[in-house]
Chains A and B, each alone.
Chain A
Amino acid sequence: MKNRVEELRKSQGLRQEEFARAIRVSRQTISSIENGRYSPSLELAFTISEFFGLPIEEIFIRERSDTL
């Protein structure tokens, strides 16, 4: 799942470690989310959206399949 986590994090001048510590996850999780290798749970997605003060849909972009 594509997302804007890296863009939003950098806009606030935060390193991955600082952002991870702020939302109580590991730095590796942040890296995996930003690379699209890992999709966060609903709870973590809400935590991230609350941190940036933006709705979830503006941070995580779901690509709908053409077959749906």
Chain B
Amino acid sequence: MKKRDLWTGIIMIALGLACLAASFLNTPLDSLLCGMFGALTAPGIVLVYKYAKYNSPKHAAQYRERLEQEQIDLRDERKEMLRNKSGRLAYLLGLLAGAASMTVFSVLGKLGAINEDTSRLLILFLTGYLLFQLLAGWVLYRLLEKKY
């Protein structure tokens, strides 16, 4: 592994600890800062551990083999096809889930289960998000069609 990975890990740990320290200042963002401490420190520790492990002569061959397999898996045509297919299915499921959520929040708002203003805001956000997804899908398809 490169020295850059070690430095990235150290910086992530340092930033995580800084967030933890800031969380003791009793601000409204305390819980968010605690979350960021976990999100930064844990992967930072893993990165530093991996650097130490794979840079030792005992594991160098194992790391080279792992890197090579990663490169093969990245370029493997069947895996690429599966990633593309699953991406498209996830996109369609996302559209369905968004549409279903709009219906649910609309009904909940009308029935008074949630505040109607909140319901309206959620529906507005979901509408914008769905339209963005549809537009992005259409634009990207047209761009890819021209390219290929």
A28 pairs with B78, CB closer than 8 A: yes
A24 pairs with B77, CB closer than 8 A: no
Interface size grouping (class) on chain B: under 10
B68 to chain A, nearest CB (A): 8
- Bound form: Cα–Cα A18–B19 in Å: 48
Interface size grouping (class) on chain A: 10 to 19
Contacts of A25 in B (CB 8 A): 72, 76-78
* Pick from A21, A24, A29, A43: contact of B78, CB under 8 Å: A29
* Pick from A24, A29, A41: contact of B79, CB under 8 Å: A29
Contact bitstring A26-45, B, C-beta under 8 A = 1, else 0 = 10110010000010110110
Give the interface of A toward B (CB within 8 A).
20-21, 24-26, 28-29, 32, 38, 40-41, 43-44
